[in-house]
Structure 1
């Protein structure tokens, strides 16, 4: 009867419109076939009515099939919602686990890096207490060193607080003054170097670099600290830096005992130590790798170097990757 065709005229456009919208939205996902499947079932019932007969009772049959299609569609949509929610929860769980792992690493890194300025502060304070800085200029120099190291410690603590809020970010890309960075690192390690009579040979000139100044300083500090630690007393450390197309390479060489071949990858793991008599917690090289990767670069141990160890860092001239 007329009600039958009126029902079809109202229902079919709506069903097609909704089905097309859901299909376009979820066509890259198997769950998106939920509504189209219901639409197809409904259309089959309509075709069946037209082909078989046009009696009134067939109208009720079509309505029943339409409701069945609607129920099936709702079931598929509920299933889709369940799967999507489960996937989102799994993604959030992985996010939290990764954040927790990085948090643990950063706490270890900050604790490790605080040792260098603390040792320096203690060394210069001892010199002042012993009266070995009688000249006013010398006292001012020692006090300036103490202040610089204390400022460095506060900066690292601020980094930890910042990480707790938004994540570990090494800073925005900027023009890095490598000569100035090297001088700051040398000042931080002066007390440790002088205690063991270690000399450092710096490059005569530094190439330009655009990266994270904070990250580069952290890399250089930990490489130098590692080299000084493993160098024999009275030894020397050599630093080289040169341009490599759209990047720079930074080499730090020492004349210590070297690294056995089987340990060349493990030394970059957090808390790994291969010489028990050397003080430390095995965080320095792990920090170098972490910071280098965040700057889009890489670090490795030169297997061809003899008579000690040479650590090589490759840093692209583009700055840090942004954290998402």
Structure 2
């Protein structure tokens, strides 16, 4: 099968499409013929050598496609079904991918839209679960207009929370359309938040990693009320929980998101698609950071 890989660290030019042996699912897993695969910031962090030291490395943790092989004990899907999900192997940007966690694609979505979902909704849900976001509370999300942030806004609102979200002025109308109350980030953030919530907020989620954990701690009344998915060093310095997948993934959301999507209560836009062979261009576009929504590779 064709798959994205790199055998040295560096810029997008190190990415290659190579032939690799076809993978096969283990017990409880499925294999799909990939139709679309999501691209995430972790991909270029891996490519730069900021995450995993070993070489070579494949890429991709989320994909959507057609089931073509079942692992032992799998009875909840059949060959030919449309599914989306997460690859524990990190090799989903390929013609074939093994999914460890999966769910049927919501009827109203196409393959690129489905491939954009898993990483963003799992990350957002895991953080919301760890914070204990529930009905009646006020949640501040720092970096609310990106894929994970906008997913967190909508999922928190589905739980009945009030959401205040930081973002640049150009994204404020988008945040309002999701139901959040927007505030500008940067100097004076705490004062702007207190103008909306004079007593501060109940909980805070940092998605942007922009060095504002002290302000979030003060607004939420303590480090125990704050979670970050983006600032590992700041979390250690300030005693904030850093949410990471190896502590347990919130895969339950894969099976839950369809009802919200079909009810018109959740959407995650696809900003741009690329062919698998255009992966280097996708990385360049992602690293520029100017697009709202997910980048997706089209396969097959």
TM-score by length of 2: 0.22
TM-score by length of 1: 0.21
Q: Which has the higher helix share?
A: 1
Q: Which has the higher strand share?
A: 2
Structure with the greater alpha carbon radius of gyration: 1
Bigger relative contact order (CA 8 A; separation at least 6)? 2
